[in-house]
Amino acid sequence: MTGRERILAAIRHEEPDRVPISPRVGAWMQAEFADGSLAKQMEVLPEMDFMHVTGEPVANYVYGTQTQYDLPGVEVDLERTEAGDCYILHRTFRTPAGEISDVTRVPPSGREYGVSPNPVKHEHLVKSIDDLPALEYILPAIPATFDGHSSSQEMLGDRGVVMPCIRSGLDHNAGDARGMENLMIDYYTDRALFDGVMDIFHQRSLQKAKACLEAGAEVIFGSWYYNSLSSGWSPAIFEEVFVPEIREHVDLAHSYGALYDYYDDGVLAQSMELIASAGIDVLETCTPPPVGDFDLAQAKRTIGDEVTLKGYVDLLYVLKHGTPELVERTVREAMEIAKPGGGFIIGSSDSFREGTPRENLDTYWRACVEYGRYA
């Protein structure tokens, strides 16, 4: 079978020739080859069944640290100051609806910060409900259709599927415009602000998904890790606020005949059944203890008939700091639990990290092929 056939069969809960192998590899590729491109991955990862993630339809000026902005009618002032090995970026947006500003600390790549460190917001754009009209002026227009995934699919061919990334309204959106801690407080103390900023970005995320689906996207990669219980949200808030939003995304994808891959690289024990109830097709990354709390056997029993489970192998304590024997045992046990009946794609709890021993990765690929075969 081809990688594409293998992945689609697993999602249909059929037994392909072997379990698809689709770990996240971007950070390791960048560290190892200074090249995380799809072409390079295809060259050096022959056993990979690609579920390749591409970008969103428009630039994200909320999360980003760009120096160039395409915002008609908006003046942008930037001030950069050095702060040790980091720099501080002060941004001011002067819009027809008023002025908003933020402050971001940007660490360098490499060293203790890793190959792709996240900027840290010290001051957020949205400080009160009065900032919402100005906020909308710095959100670029979303095209009616967006086929940014098509060239990757052409390159990939039958080796896998391409998934445009559509972030939740919180993920790198409201969570950075207002701040996660602020939103958690707003839920109780300023519900109008909470609902207002969340709705702006939720509606935009649906528009982005629609643009990709109109262009023929077959699988949507929904990034929801800011919504994770790992971030501090309670199960009750998750069920009340986020599950209806997830369901809207899934229903939209399904209305176009597309599949929905839900991404949360945190704890899932208390949320996986809620997520499954929204109708998703794939759940990743299914991170086990000690980093996560995912019980693969329990998940296979409770949601495994309706949702394909993807990921599982711990990138840190198994792959990076473990032994080849531990890697092999982890893969073998995962296959014994989740392989029967399809509905399993083995991967990783997040991207392979820089410094992961080649011996461990070689063992991972070999064991995935060996123990993933169906009779």
pLDDT for residue 94 is more than 80: yes
SS3 content of the chain, % helix, strand, coil (to 5): 45, 20, 35
pLDDT band at 113 (very low <50, low <70, confident <90, very high): low
Angle between helices 243-255 and 191-214 (to 10 degrees): 20
- Asked whether residue 111 carries a pLDDT value surpassing 70, the answer given is no
Chain centroid to CA 349? 12
Q: What is the pLDDT of residues 173-210, one digit of tens each?
A: 999 999 999 999 999 999 999 999 999 999 999 999 99
Query: What is the mean predicted confidence (pLDDT) over 46-55?
Result: 97
Look at residue 204 in the predicted model and tell me its pLDDT.
Answer: 98
Residues 6+ apart with CB under 8 A from 62: 125, 138, 139, 172, 173, 176, 177
The residue-averaged pLDDT of 223-248 equals: 98
Alpha-carbon distance values, 127 to 100, 134, 357 (Å):
9, 11, 45
Who contacts 125 (Cβ-Cβ below 8 Å, separation ≥6)? 62, 93, 100, 101, 102, 131, 135, 138, 177, 178
Q: What is the pLDDT of residue 65?
A: 87
Q: Which of 215, 148, 204 is nearest to 171 (CA)?
A: 204
What is the mean predicted confidence (pLDDT) over 353-359? 94
Q: Provide the residue type at 362 as one letter.
A: D
3-class SS of residue 7: helix
The amino acid that residue 42 corresponds to is M
Burial of 77: CB neighbours in 10 Å, binned 0-12, 13-18, 19+: exposed
**Quick check: 249 pLDDT over 80?**
yes
Average pLDDT in the chain: 96
pLDDT at 375: 81
What pLDDT is attached to residue 327? 98
Which residues, at least 6 apart from 86, have a Cβ–Cβ distance to it below 8 Å?
A: 105, 106, 107, 108
Residue 109 scores a pLDDT above 90 = no
CA 45 to each of CA 22, 151, 248, 318: distance values in angstroms, whole numbers, following the listed order: 10, 20, 35, 20
- In the numeric block, the tokens 């690929």 are attached to 365
pLDDT attached to residue 333: 98
Which range is least confidently modeled, 34-38, 106-110, 273-277, 355-359? 106-110
Q: Which fold has domain 3-71+126-372?
A: TIM Barrel (3.20.20)
**Dihedral sign for Cα atoms in the order 167, 169, 174, 180:** negative
Spell out the alpha helix ranges (H) of 131-233.
Answer: 132-137, 150-156, 180-189, 191-214
209: tokens are 């998904």
In angstroms, the CA 222 to CA 176 distance is 17
- Examine the pLDDT at 115 and tell me if it is beyond 90: no
- Per domain, the residue ranges of the chain are 3-71+126-372
